[in-house]
Homo-oligomer: A and B are copies of this chain.
Amino acid sequence: MIRVGVVGATGYAGAELVRILAGHPDADLTVITSRQYAGKPFAEIYPAMTDIVDLTCEIFDSDSLCDRADLIFLALPHKLPMAFVPDLRKQGKKIIDLSADFRFSDPATYEAVYQPHTSKELLADSVYGLCEIFKEKIKDADLIGNPGCYPTSVILPLYPLIRKGLLDINTIIADSKSGVSGAGRSLSLVTHYCEATESFKAYKVAGHRHKPEIDEVLGHAAKAPVNITFVPHLLPMSRGMESTIYADLNKKINESDIYDCWADFYSECQFIRITDNGRPPDTLQVRGTNYCDMGFVLEKEKNRIILMSVIDNLVKGAAGQAVQNMNIMMGLDEAAGLKALPFPV
């Protein structure tokens, strides 16, 4: 059994980690921390977990944590992980950080949209944890920058096609939609029930901080700078994320070229499901699971492709992928703890 700790266990991503780890056959969740709820049993904050999780939230203490955990998940707001990770790494712990602090290889990109980076020296060692694409690097990693939810849903369908040179990278547009849980548990008017229900709107149009993350990773595939147009929207539902992505094609191709490209690239990937015959994937079909379902339609007369992907933003878009990273790093079954069944309804 691997002893694991979750720092920041009471936000939505942290609580989802606790939930998944509670059912993980090879991990023993030994420590959870929460500044806000220190001293309170987790099941008091999330009564759903009564009789399932017996842990009590603690104040973060690096030494105490390192005594009891071999691998540590950080589910904290940006900026805190940069401060905590150096010491945890010095104590030899493996780290999976769900914030943006260790997602970028170029600190300048990070600093342009977040703040000055205080642990730049660790960026060279950190690996971007998009499991289906960087699995080989993840196997040997000690520090993972776990991907953002939007980047996961946008990069997965695009990466193989760009890598193969099929798309005109100057024409990529991603129109993404997220359930409200993506905004976390912090209170705000935009996530207040009466202002979110029966409401749909874009936000942070062309200015969301996940865009540079997408651009950097797609740039690796293109071996050239990528600068997509990215517009996120807020959906009146709790969990689920859909991205509809548009791009012009570099040459005339058929449906089978796309299927083959995806099927080859993702042949070993059990969490990627490709829909048949252009059937649009539906967020409800991946709710509560680590799947990314994807499909596409070709507009041949315009030489344009429309890609669609769906994930559960808290699972494949956050905690599920984090556990998948742990599984890969520790040599476990990649799907261990991630076999929760979807709900047909």
Residues of chain A at the chain B interface (Cβ within 8 Å): 12, 15-16, 18-20, 22-23, 46-52, 170-171, 173, 175, 177, 180-181, 185, 187-189, 191-203, 205-206, 227, 229, 231, 233, 235-240, 242, 244, 246, 270, 273, 275, 278-288, 293, 297, 299, 301-302, 304, 306, 308, 310, 314, 339-345
| Pairs A–B under 8 Å by Cβ, sample size 6 | A48-B284, A198-B240, A199-B283, A201-B310, A206-B299, A236-B237
User: Of B20, B46, B231, B304, which one neighbours A244 at CB under 8 angstroms?
Assistant: B231
Residues B194 and A339 in contact, CB atoms below 8 Å apart = no
User: Of B49, B50, B239, B273, which one neighbours A198 at CB under 8 angstroms?
Assistant: B239
User: Closest Cβ of chain B: how far from A14's Cβ, in Å?
Assistant: 10
Residues B343 and A284 in contact, CB atoms below 8 Å apart = no
Please name the residue on chain B nearest to A20 by beta carbon: B341
Q: Which residues of B contact A196 (CB under 8 A)?
A: 193
Please name the residue on chain B nearest to A340 by beta carbon: B340
Q: Which residues of B contact A246 (CB under 8 A)?
A: 173, 175, 229, 246
Q: Which residues of B contact A16 (CB under 8 A)?
A: 344-345
Residues A282 and B199 in contact, CB atoms below 8 Å apart = yes
Given A187-B187, A192-B191, A231-B244, A344 and B200 contact (CB-CB distance below 8 Å): no
Residues B187 and A189 in contact, CB atoms below 8 Å apart = yes
Given A201-B281, A282-B47, A206 and B306 contact (CB-CB distance below 8 Å): yes
User: Of B240, B242, B299, B302, which one neighbours A233 at CB under 8 angstroms?
Assistant: B242
Q: Which residues of B contact A237 (CB under 8 A)?
A: 197-200, 236
User: Of B231, B293, B297, which one neighbours A205 at CB under 8 angstroms?
Assistant: B297
Q: Which residues of B contact A306 (CB under 8 A)?
A: 205-206, 229, 231
Residues B197 and A238 in contact, CB atoms below 8 Å apart = yes
Alpha-carbon distance between A314 and B191 when the two chains are bound, in angstroms: 20
Alpha-carbon distance between A195 and B205 when the two chains are bound, in angstroms: 27
Alpha-carbon distance between A173 and B275 when the two chains are bound, in angstroms: 23
Alpha-carbon distance between A259 and B154 when the two chains are bound, in angstroms: 31
Alpha-carbon distance between A310 and B199 when the two chains are bound, in angstroms: 10
Q: Which residues of B contact A299 (CB under 8 A)?
A: 206, 229
Query: Contacts A23-B339, A200-B237, A235-B236 given; 11 further ones with Cβ under 8 A?
Result: A12-B344, A18-B344, A19-B342, A22-B341, A173-B173, A192-B193, A193-B193, A200-B240, A200-B310, A202-B280, A206-B297
